[in-house]
Amino acid sequence: MLLVVGLLACASGGQRAALGWSLGGEAHVFVADDRFARDFYRRLTGGGSVMDALEGRPLVTVDARGARSATVLSANGAAPGRLTLARFHGPRTCGYSGLVTELVLAFPPGGAAGRSAPPSHGTVVALLDEPAFAGGAGTPRPALSTRDAMALIRRVADRAEVSTRGPSVGLLHPPSLDADRAADAGEIVALRSQYAVGFRATFAATVAEDRIDTTLITGVATTDLDLHELRWVVRPQRRRLHGGMITAQGVRYSLRGALAGPGGGALLLVDEIAEVSPRDSRALAIDVEARRVIAAQPLALRCP
């Protein structure tokens, strides 16, 4: 049976990459999409129905060793991975209402591919519709001291406040280094030539002569230390707060790390947290150069 991994992109309306994690000599990546699951199951089985196969059971496993390789990106670089198994998880079994397809990719031992294989228990992104390739991640810039990191987050937050063009009387609290904190916090990730900065900063905003509202500004940027080369990867968003909560539909962004990207670039791992509707929160992999989300999945996705 011949299966071209590139056809997976058509199965989910343009899905070309999937997020997941590594375990020893293999990676497990996940696609939360009903159409993808139905179409991919038909391709693997020659016309079967995944819903029929899942009748009365939470999981169906299908041999996928006829498939071509895909490229798996991690903090170590890019490594070819050969698809060996596909697991189809039924609705509501992974903390998600629909079907979830789990793809298991094995790595060849030794050589350049072995050196760039992901470390165990690390986040990975699998490129499903590109020829497999191997390559190192390069050496990131030196990590900043806590003092310098906090100062850089503050400078980026101040620049974001100016760029959103809203009324403000200044930053309320210095941001701390804490990826899990909802406000007054940020993160720094060292890349090869710059730093990635995520932030959630609160400002006091004047909305009337006798009224001041608290505003949250959040976003993600790449920059040098002096902000001469600042670029918004996720453009800053301004949201009013009430009791510390976003009062209208909006999100906060938390930077979780970086992976090697195609062409020697980088992917940023970002949590997009929807406060009003938590089930809409997503884990994102964003191409720094293209400033485009290449993979996303529900943040609460957990498959048994």
- CA distance linking residue 231 with residue 226, whole number of Å: 12
Question: 195 is written with which tokens?
Answer: 């730093």
Question: 61 is written with which tokens?
Answer: 């496993």
Residue 245 and residue 182 in contact, taking contact as beta carbons nearer than 8 Å = no
How much is the pLDDT for 4? 32
Along the 304 residues of the chain, how does pLDDT read in single tens digits? 233 333 343 334 444 799 999 998 899 999 999 999 999 999 999 999 999 999 999 999 999 987 767 899 999 999 999 999 999 999 999 999 999 999 999 987 765 566 788 989 999 999 987 767 777 777 889 999 999 999 999 999 999 999 987 767 789 999 999 999 999 999 999 999 999 999 999 998 766 666 677 889 999 999 999 999 999 999 999 988 876 667 667 899 999 999 999 878 999 999 999 987 888 999 999 999 999 999 999 999 999 8
**234 Cβ contact list (under 8 Å, min separation 6):** 219, 220, 221, 253, 270, 286
**The model scores a pTM over 0.75:** yes
Residue 200 and residue 184 in contact, taking contact as beta carbons nearer than 8 Å = yes
Question: 10 is written with which tokens?
Answer: 């058509």
Question: 196 is written with which tokens?
Answer: 């990635």
How much is the pLDDT for 109? 77
Q: Sketch the domain layout of the chain as residue ranges.
A: 5-136, 146-298
